[in-house]
Amino acid sequence: MENEQKREIYDFGLLKVRKLKLDKAQSNIISFAEKAQNMNRYERMSNEEIIRICKGNDLDRIRELSIWFAKTNGMYGRAVRYIADINKFDYLLYPDIALDSELEDSDNEKILKQFDKILSFFDNSSIQLMCRKWSEKVCTEGVYYGYICDDVTDRLVVQDLPAKYCRSRFYYKGYPLVEFNMKYF
């Protein structure tokens, strides 16, 4: 008890706070310049320049601005995540068997084994998380490109492709073809 120090009691109602002079908030946006050219260089943009970029046709600048806003602006990032998560991305698998055909016991076992294999493939793939990630990329960048890796047999693996180096202009058997610019490497 003797070693115990007495604490000073503060009355917070009597504390004096100095007056702060607040300036009007500046509406400037800081954006990254091209990462490959200068990682540490920032440039300030005025509202007029941001509006000009948004109304323009330079997709790379628009994507860069959207990604920057999603990372730095809380309301924009929250809106992107909200829109990306609206869908549940649930999936339903069912066997496509003719109802009027009669199946033998050996066929039933074969179908159940194949169906179990397909179910385990989709359960291991975490499709819902991937779809949310793809949806968020579509909301920020306007497009998503990915390559399905065929060498993995037990689950779905999709390699993300950078949107800056991809485009899709043609169709093959009803599916869009993705052109990839090899300047990426």
Q: Over the stretch 148-157, which tens digit does the pLDDT of each residue have?
A: 888 888 888 9
Residue 2 is encoded by which pair of tokens? 């003797």
> Cβ(146)–Cβ(160) under 8 Å?
yes
For residues 109 and 180, membership in a common domain is answered with yes
Residue 77, Cβ density class (10 Å: 0-12 exposed, 13-18 middle, ≥19 buried): middle
* Beta strand segments in 11-115, E: 29-32, 42-45
For residues 66 and 130, membership in a common domain is answered with no
User: Per the domain annotation, does 2 fall within a domain?
Assistant: no
pLDDT of 58: 86
Mean per-residue pLDDT of the chain: 77
Structural domains of the chain, count: 2
For residues 113 and 177, membership in a common domain is answered with yes
Structural domain range at position 58: 24-84
Strands 166-167 and 179-180: antiparallel
> Cβ(144)–Cβ(163) under 8 Å?
yes
User: Per the domain annotation, does 94 fall within a domain?
Assistant: no
Q: Is the pLDDT of residue 146 over 80?
A: yes
For residues 111 and 70, membership in a common domain is answered with no
What SS3 class is residue 68? helix
For residues 125 and 178, membership in a common domain is answered with yes
For residues 62 and 110, membership in a common domain is answered with no
Arithmetic mean of pLDDT, 168-172: 91
Q: Over the stretch 25-71, which tens digit does the pLDDT of each residue have?
A: 444 444 444 443 433 333 577 778 778 888 888 888 888 888 888 88
User: Per the domain annotation, does 100 fall within a domain?
Assistant: no
Reported confidence tier of residue 3, pLDDT bands at 50, 70, 90 = low
Reported confidence tier of residue 8, pLDDT bands at 50, 70, 90 = low
